Amino acid sequence: MNSTESRRSQSTCLNGSSKCFKIHDPLLGFVNQYPLKSSRSVETIGVFGLGFVGSSIAAVWLRYGATVVGYDVSTQRIDDIKNQRLGGFDSEVEEALRKGIQSGKLVLTSDGVEASINSRIKFVCVPVYLGNDGKADLSYLKSACVILGKGLRRGDSVIICPSAPPGTTRDLVAKVLAKESKLKAGEDFSLIYSPERIFVGRAVKDLEENYPAVVSGIDERSLAKAEEIYGKISKKGSVKMPSLESAEFEKLAEGVYRDVNIALANELAMVCDELGIDYFSIREAANSQPYSNLHVPGFGVGGACIPVYPLLVKQSVNKTKTSIISESRRINDSMTNWLVDALKKEFHVNESTRIGILGLSFRGGIADSRLSVTYKLVDNLKMKGLANIRVHDPLIHNDEVIGPILTSDLRSVIRWSDIAIIVTDHKEYKDFDWRRVKKHLRLIDGKGLLRGRNSENNIELYGLGYGSKRPKVTEQ
């Protein structure tokens, strides 16, 4: 008996419950199984990595009625979920996790091998970041698969969710799992790649209702298994992809599409500003026919996904030129420089000007600041000697990088600022009654939130794409 086998035979309920019972597995004999309350629920689901994606997947399976074993390398994360310190997740995710803990159907563990032993369907939801060399850092995925592989059994299904360069599942994951488990993907267990398509803030709806799951398998059987698994939780079912690589690339292509179209929107908005034309009315009119989908401009693109995917695509090819992808990234990345230049040249901002930055999260309505444009804007302002800054966010109350200049008190920032810049499309900025501001304030709207409103009372309103500057007509 090898160490994994002996560990399996000793395996007990992770939640310490004596209600754990044994089921007969045709290959393994009797194995532990959790009591399942719902008659629909047939498997125990393992979730490896309990961040935004993993917690959302756990929540959806709990809502389905399954028992979920959640593993995270961060004991802090495990403790936070266990103790229901769940800030930052969607309310539906929080509610499902809370109920799961109370009912004992969500079992949390810092032992990944146990999590693997005790689940038959395993979702891997660890991050793929960008390394310092500008390439995908697959080390988190690799280490999660090493642990998972040690508890992998014949007949299990492994579903890889992170966005990754094409080839990752076949060339890295399958090999690591084979080495650790001595089992072969396709023959002994199902290996599936299915990218997460969720939007933080409405993850449950996205998974259950909004979109079909994009699925792929290392072989036909894995693909059929993927369809069966997602058929249980996704009303829209699944879109079957011809290969693991095509599903991996599909996810990156979605992100690249967004990045390129945001760059286009940014360029068109800047053109409109020079011409004194309102970009938003043009966008509305253009998008009234089905061939146009002009995006909303902004002072850059943040988040862990969209700015990263173009780089993952670029790293995947040697011969093909990726000019549009690269140029779009450059345009989006340069938006904060463009803003700082405009602040200096056109708004005559200097060292003593009090600058209020509205928004730290990368998108409105969420408390996620990963790769937020605001970090770059603060850096760029400081580099130009414009360091009299305060940052407001309604949902993020502490941030190590921004430090004490971050506040959640919108009124006080507005009262303090000489010039305020809306970076994030939080609804609090749209809903704020700007007419009641009792001092002269220059307000720059980077998200088209206040378009259609005039400069009123004490507020001088400008916006990216507002076309509020008069066009310079050159004399002939």
Ligand X SMILES: NC(=O)c1ccc[n+]([C@@H]2O[C@H](COP(=O)([O-])OP(=O)(O)OC[C@H]3O[C@@H](n4cnc5c(N)ncnc54)[C@H](O)[C@@H]3O)[C@@H](O)[C@H]2O)c1
188 binds ligand X, rule: CB under 6 A: no
Residue type, 192: I
**Minimum distance from CB of 295 to ligand X (Å)?**
18
| Total residue count of the chain as it appears in this document | 476
Please state, in angstroms and rounded to a whole number, the distance separating the CA atoms of residues 420 and 450: 13
Interface with ligand X: number of residues (CB under 6 A): 27
Q: Residue 284, Cβ neighbours under 10 Å: how many?
A: 11
Site string for ligand X, 405-444 (x = CB under 6 A): ----------------------------------------
Pairing status of strand 136-137 against strand 129-130: antiparallel
74 binds ligand X, rule: CB under 6 A: yes
Residue whose CB is less far from ligand X, 298 or 463:
298
Please state the separation of Cα 33 from the chain's center in Å.
Answer: 33
51 binds ligand X, rule: CB under 6 A: yes
Token code pair at residue 419: 């010039």
Q: Which stretch binds ligand X (CB under 6 A): 70-78, 214-222, 356-364, 399-407?
A: 70-78
Q: Shortest CA distance to 108 belongs to which of 68, 149, 152, 63?
A: 68
Q: Which stretch binds ligand X (CB under 6 A): 156-164, 183-191, 292-300, 376-384?
A: 156-164
**Minimum distance from CB of 421 to ligand X (Å)?**
25
Token code pair at residue 405: 């200049």
Q: Which residue is nearest to ligand X (CB)?
A: 51
126 binds ligand X, rule: CB under 6 A: yes
Cα torsion 213, 219, 224, 226: sign:
negative
Residue whose CB is less far from ligand X, 4 or 33:
4
Q: Which stretch binds ligand X (CB under 6 A): 159-167, 275-283, 416-424, 434-442?
A: 159-167
Q: Residue 354, Cβ neighbours under 10 Å: how many?
A: 14
Token code pair at residue 120: 């038959």
**H or E element, residue 304:** none
**Minimum distance from CB of 431 to ligand X (Å)?**
25
Residue whose CB is less far from ligand X, 51 or 276:
51
The correct pick among 45, 53, 260, 313 for binding ligand X (CB under 6 A) is 53
The correct pick among 33, 45, 72, 250 for binding ligand X (CB under 6 A) is 72
Residue whose CB is less far from ligand X, 60 or 161:
161
Token code pair at residue 357: 């930055």
**Minimum distance from CB of 164 to ligand X (Å)?**
7
Residue type, 435: R
Token code pair at residue 403: 């430090």
* Residue 306 and residue 338 in contact, taking contact as beta carbons nearer than 8 Å: no
68 binds ligand X, rule: CB under 6 A: no
49 binds ligand X, rule: CB under 6 A: yes
123 binds ligand X, rule: CB under 6 A: no
* Residue 423 and residue 374 in contact, taking contact as beta carbons nearer than 8 Å: yes
Residue whose CB is less far from ligand X, 185 or 203:
203
* Residue 17 and residue 104 in contact, taking contact as beta carbons nearer than 8 Å: yes
Cα torsion 281, 282, 283, 284: sign:
positive
* Residue 177 and residue 205 in contact, taking contact as beta carbons nearer than 8 Å: no
Residue whose CB is less far from ligand X, 49 or 465:
49
Give, as one character, the DSSP assignment of residue 364.
Answer: T
**Minimum distance from CB of 114 to ligand X (Å)?**
13
Token code pair at residue 350: 């200097």
Residues 193-222 that bind ligand X (CB under 6 A): 196, 198, 200
The correct pick among 45, 66, 68, 128 for binding ligand X (CB under 6 A) is 128
**Minimum distance from CB of 112 to ligand X (Å)?**
6
Residues 298-327 that bind ligand X (CB under 6 A): 304-305
Q: Shortest CA distance to 347 belongs to which of 417, 415, 398, 394?
A: 417
- Which own/partner pairs from 205-208 qualify as long-range (CB within 8 Å, at least 24 positions apart)? 205/92, 207/56, 207/57, 207/60, 207/233, 207/234, 208/60, 208/63, 208/233, 208/234, 208/235
The correct pick among 8, 63, 77, 426 for binding ligand X (CB under 6 A) is 77
| Interacting residues toward ligand X by CB under 6 A | 48-54, 71-74, 77, 125-128, 140, 143-144, 161-163, 196, 198, 200, 304-305
